[in-house]
Structure 1
Amino acid sequence: MPDHDNASRTVTVPTSDHGPVTVWEPDWCTGSDGEHQPGGYRVDITHASRDYEFTASTSRGTPVVLRACFEQRPFAEHPPGHVPFMNVEMDGDWHPHSSNDLRRLSESLTAHADRLRDLADRLDGLTNAFNATRRPTPGAATPRRGRDG
């Protein structure tokens, strides 16, 4: 189990390859055992924040469209490396993002929102056309009922 020292914001994690490793812990880190897995490798030590969930209101509830969290891997040997980044979950997989990557994602989501508005306008046209074919035409003869009807 990791040993937390809240006064100095450090955490000591027992690792299998470097013994106990003490690292500075960012204030946004949740400090869960999932991030500071005892007995793992030093390179696997990860700081992660709580998840930020982005939802959308639908006719069947409010599902999570995407999820994001701050993350840092202080001993990582490959990008995104030692600096904090935003990990974004989409389509069941996590994708590391820099601040510029997040801005590009935001622009992409804005474009998707514009496209959805265009589709809503098209749906209005389709719905109106459908409803127009179901209305009786003014002045058209109304079918007569028989004696029993």
Structure 2
Amino acid sequence: MPDHDNSSRTVTIPTCDHGPVTVWEPDWCTGSDSEHQPGGYRVDISHASPEHEFTVSTSRGTPVVLRVCFEQRPFTERPPGHVPFVNVELDGDWHPHGSDDLRRLADALTAHSDQLRNLADRLDGLTNAFDATQGGHARGDEP
């Protein structure tokens, strides 16, 4: 993704509270109307990159586990402030993350993957015990 400092683009967005507002537009911004919200409030102006989807392969397809995108809100007074951040969609809601937050999220996901591996090992034990008690036959298939 291009470095936002290399952009010389600006965009003028008509707002209902400050009239036309001209803002610098990062190279990574998609520039869609939903981000720039013509006719909205200046505080609602945001820049967002395309979403990156993290998927997993399952026996029933490839669902999206989480989505992330770069975002910046040049006129917000709420955290994380005016600096770019990564917005992470988890459980249907978006959560702003700074770089330290992303590292903590990565650590948590690594811990979850370790737990899944432990559950896989336990499942192997349960499956082997089941097979041993069933003599290698599934229920209803006994001779």
Q: Structure 2 length normalisation: TM-score?
A: 0.89
1:8 to partner: Cα distance: 3.6
Superposed CA deviations along residues 73-93 of structure 1, whole A, max 9, x for unmatched, are 000011111000000000000
Structure 1 residues 41-76: Cα deviation after superposition (integer angstroms, max 9, x where no partner): 000000000001000111101100000000000000
Instruction: Report the RMSD for the aligned CA atoms in angstroms.
Output: 1.3
- Show the counterpart of 1:140: none
What do residues 23-56 of structure 1 show as CA deviations (whole Å, max 9, x unaligned)? 0000000000110110000000000000010001
Instruction: Give the aligned partner of residue 75 of structure 2.
Output: 75
Q: Number of residue pairs matched?
A: 131
TM-score by length of 1: 0.85
**Which stretches in structure 2 are left out of the alignment for 5+ residues?**
1-6, 137-142
Identity of aligned residues (%): 80
**1:36 is the counterpart of 2:36:** yes
For 2:44, the aligned partner's letter is D
Please report how far the alpha carbon of residue 20 of structure 1 lies from its aligned counterpart in structure 2 after TM superposition.
0.4
In the other structure, the counterpart of 2:20 is: 20
Q: Which residue in the other structure is 2:108 paired with?
A: 108
List runs of 5+ in structure 1 lacking aligned partners: 1-6, 137-142, 144-149
Quote the Cα distance in structure 1 between the aligned partners of 2:11 and 2:127. 60
Moved segments of 4+, more than 3 Å: none
DSSP-derived class of the 2:83 partner: coil
